Amino acid sequence: MHERDPFLSNMKWLSVSYLLSSWSSLLKRPRFVVISILVLLIVCCVCYAIVFIHRSSSSLVKCVTWNVIQHQPKLDNQASNRIHSSTDSSNQPSEVLEHVEDRVLSKQQQTSSKQQVLKTRRQRRRQVMFGNFQCNRYTRQTLFTSCQIENVCINTRGQFLLFMSRDRLFGKKQLILDELNRRPWIYTQGRFESNRGLHFMRIIDAELILEFDPQRDSITSTTTTKKDDISDKDDQKNEKVVSAFTIPGSSWSERPLHSISGDPVELDKNFKYYSEPVYVLKRYAAGNMGHFLFDNIAMIVTLMMNFNPLASTRDLDKLLGNHILYLDDVYEQVAHNWIGAYRYNESLADEFSLKLPQLFSKNPPLQLCRQQDSTRIDLLPCRNTPRGTNFPRNNVLQACFANFRIGLTYGLFRAFPSREMIFVQYRQLVYYHLGIYPLPSEENDSHVMAPYLKKKPLKIVIHKKPLSSGHGKIIWNVDELLNAIRDKLQKDPYLSLYHSKQSIQVESLELDLFTMNVTEQVKFFSQVDVYISDQGSAAYYAVYMRKDTSVLIAPECYSDRGCHTGESFQILRALPNTFVVDYLELLRGSEENPNETPCNPRPTAKDLNACDPILRVDVVVENVMAFVKRRFLKMMMVDPDE
């Protein structure tokens, strides 16, 4: 390091002292002070004038430029006449402005320019709705198994149309096009039964162009975007489709779109454009809770998983932004349509169809409706009228869908094992949508679950089916079981040691008298720790129960052939979230033959040999205690001082 020269340092301080003394002497002269102030004022005025001139010229250029852009034609005269027949040609400027910087606008012209700018900001937007489809296949009944179809439309005759250039088809294009327009694409019903579920599409060798107008107060593009969340990027979601036309399929790849003239397409007065994914199906046995879950809801969740994989919990919001579209009216008396409700109560089928989708969708369910020979998409429910002969014109579009997901991968009701992830995903969606915490994705974390388990009541529920049940097979001795379980819980040392601060609830549940809505029912079963059910629809509420819970399912009994494991257990045993136990398994190894389980004969209208199982009290009570200890293990694994 170099040492600082003391001589130079002294010189520096001397020069500064000299300047300060000189400046103080000048300030004592009045003439110098006045001249200095005048010079400063002149400099400030010059700077201000330069800035003002610069800003004025920039504003002038912008105003006139917007005026020129507003009046420049977007298409050639022929295309303009076809698409915008209402455009007034007198608005076109007589000459193009030149030397913009040299023009001086009057106040009236400046006001007009501002109006043109505002009009331009609200200018209509045209978008090519490129038709496309992504499908998988492994069935012979149809061309495809399940599909995600982009920008498909439906006309007022009920035909689904996909405007798509044949240039994007593979192989022999005309041959493939003919096959797609002739054969059913996919099967839309929850189980293969009859031709009712066959779904046809028609490809139009053209490209559809929709013209959108931004109208915040009249939104026809259906979304769930909140007004407070609207930004410039979201403006496209808040638009109304005002016109449509088509262009030849191959023309867009050869010439710029704005230079291609189009043929107008008529829109229905109630035309709607659905920008969020739409899941499409025909219902199967929708009047039964179990069938509705495993033959209808499961199909929708499968389509979600196929075409919208999750990356994080944040994606759940995206999945919940969807529409459910039913293609049938369960009341309509036409061939094979009885399959929709499957001779269950039609009003119950509509009730399930309306309420259960609310658990995993932000939008109300839709239905394909036909009235007076005109087809439309409307809110569920609506009733179809008999077909007539007054068919509407083919080219009137009633609705278009940005994302149309449809198809059946395989009937789930009888083939649920090995496909458990479907209801894992479903429960995650439902819990998240209803605000039930902890989420299923957190149930393996002891530090999350322990505080929850300490606060919740210990809840044991037995389903008590009414004696008037037409299906029979109720648990005959529900009241006896309830009393025995309550008595055991009061005396058990485990409960007094570890659950002394928790309330213990042992109750029966009569679903027919259940006054809770669907949301409250799901929240109720998310709190149940041990559930004892018969073989009926009530058992399927197990899909909403938490991890480490237990479900004990009673057998199915007949007076002429004894008891055996029923269908509900065969299906629900694959659920990974809850431990599903067959009552007859608990009897194996004991002196009692499981097939000789006692039952109470009670003939019903649907089954003269129906017999209600009588469960052994000691067996049920012993295993309920095992279920409870297993349920609260995560509470025991965490240090109570944490």
- DSSP letter string over 424-481? HHHHHHHHHHHT-SS-GGGTT-HHHHHHHHHHSPEEEEEE---TT-SS----TTHHHH
Distance of CA 354 to the CA centre of its chain: 15
Phi/psi for 241 (5° steps) reads -80, 120
Residue 631 predicted with pLDDT over 50: yes
Rounded-to-integer distance, Cα 517 and Cα 519, Å: 6
Selection from 2-11, 247-256, 629-638 with the highest mean pLDDT: 629-638
Mean pLDDT, residues 68-82 taken together: 40
- Summarised one tens digit per residue, pLDDT across range 147-166 is 999 999 999 999 999 999 99
Tokens 């996909």, residue? Answer: 162
Residue 642 predicted with pLDDT over 70: no
Lowest mean pLDDT among 63-72, 229-238, 569-578: 63-72
Is the distance from CB of 558 to CB of 609 less than 8 angstroms?
A: yes
Residue 412 predicted with pLDDT over 90: no
Residue-wise burial string across 228-262, b where 16 or more C-beta atoms lie within 10 A, e elsewhere: eeeeeeeeebbbbbebbbbbbbebbeeeeeeebbb
- Summarised one tens digit per residue, pLDDT across range 595-619 is 788 999 998 888 889 999 999 999 9
Pick from 329, 327, 343: nearest CA to 386: 329
Q: According to the model, what pLDDT value does residue 372 have?
A: 81
Rounded-to-integer distance, Cα 525 and Cα 513, Å: 16
| DSSP-based three-state secondary structure for 75 | coil
Q: According to the model, what pLDDT value does residue 448 have?
A: 93
Q: According to the model, what pLDDT value does residue 410 have?
A: 66
Q: According to the model, what pLDDT value does residue 132 have?
A: 95
Q: According to the model, what pLDDT value does residue 638 have?
A: 67
Lowest mean pLDDT among 3-17, 217-231, 316-330, 461-475: 217-231
| DSSP-based three-state secondary structure for 417 | coil
List of residues 6+ apart from 560 with CB closer than 8 A = 609
What is the gyration radius of the CA atoms in the chain, in angstroms? Answer: 37
The per-residue pLDDT of the chain, averaged, comes to 80
DSSP strands (E only) in 457-603: 458-463, 504-509, 530-533, 549-553, 556-558, 562-564, 578-582, 599-601
Q: Identify which has the larger pLDDT, 173 or 31.
A: 173
| DSSP-based three-state secondary structure for 199 | strand
Query: Which amino acid, 481?
Result: L
Query: Which amino acid, 187?
Result: Y
Q: According to the model, what pLDDT value does residue 626 have?
A: 94
Mean pLDDT, residues 108-112 taken together: 49
List of residues 6+ apart from 56 with CB closer than 8 A = none
Mean pLDDT, residues 162-182 taken together: 92
Residue 251 predicted with pLDDT over 80: no
Residue 90 predicted with pLDDT over 70: no
Residue 362 predicted with pLDDT over 60: yes
Percent of the chain with pLDDT over 90: 47
Is the distance from CB of 219 to CB of 238 less than 8 angstroms?
A: yes
Q: According to the model, what pLDDT value does residue 373 have?
A: 81
**Is residue 273 very low, low, confident or very high in pLDDT (cuts 50, 70, 90)?**
very high
Instruction: Kindly state the greatest CA–CA separation across the chain.
Output: 128
The token pair at 465 is 């089916």
Lowest mean pLDDT among 212-216, 366-370, 460-464: 212-216
- Summarised one tens digit per residue, pLDDT across range 183-224 is 999 999 988 889 999 999 999 999 999 999 886 443 345 544
Q: According to the model, what pLDDT value does residue 54 have?
A: 65
Query: Which amino acid, 253?
Result: S
- Summarised one tens digit per residue, pLDDT across range 293-310 is 989 999 999 899 888 876
List of residues 6+ apart from 77 with CB closer than 8 A = none
Rounded-to-integer distance, Cα 479 and Cα 483, Å: 6
Q: Identify which has the larger pLDDT, 554 or 248.
A: 554
Is the distance from CB of 242 to CB of 162 less than 8 angstroms?
A: no
**Is residue 252 very low, low, confident or very high in pLDDT (cuts 50, 70, 90)?**
low
Q: According to the model, what pLDDT value does residue 515 have?
A: 81
**Is residue 277 very low, low, confident or very high in pLDDT (cuts 50, 70, 90)?**
very high
Q: According to the model, what pLDDT value does residue 511 have?
A: 83
Q: According to the model, what pLDDT value does residue 417 have?
A: 57
**Is residue 83 very low, low, confident or very high in pLDDT (cuts 50, 70, 90)?**
very low
Rounded-to-integer distance, Cα 62 and Cα 64, Å: 6
Query: Which amino acid, 46?
Result: V
Is the distance from CB of 552 to CB of 531 less than 8 angstroms?
A: yes
Residue 276 predicted with pLDDT over 70: yes
DSSP strands (E only) in 470-624: 504-509, 530-533, 549-553, 556-558, 562-564, 578-582, 599-601, 610-613
Which domains, ranges and CATH numbers included, belong to the chain? 128-223+237-274 (no CATH), 442-636 (3.40.50)
Q: According to the model, what pLDDT value does residue 232 have?
A: 45
Residue-wise burial string across 323-335, b where 16 or more C-beta atoms lie within 10 A, e elsewhere: bbbbbbbbbeeee
Q: According to the model, what pLDDT value does residue 99 have?
A: 39
Q: Identify which has the larger pLDDT, 34 or 552.
A: 552
DSSP strands (E only) in 42-170: 125-129, 132-136, 146-155, 160-163
Lowest mean pLDDT among 8-22, 209-223, 412-426: 8-22
* Cα 329 to Cα 157, 171, 296, 385, 603, distances in angstroms: 16, 39, 15, 10, 33
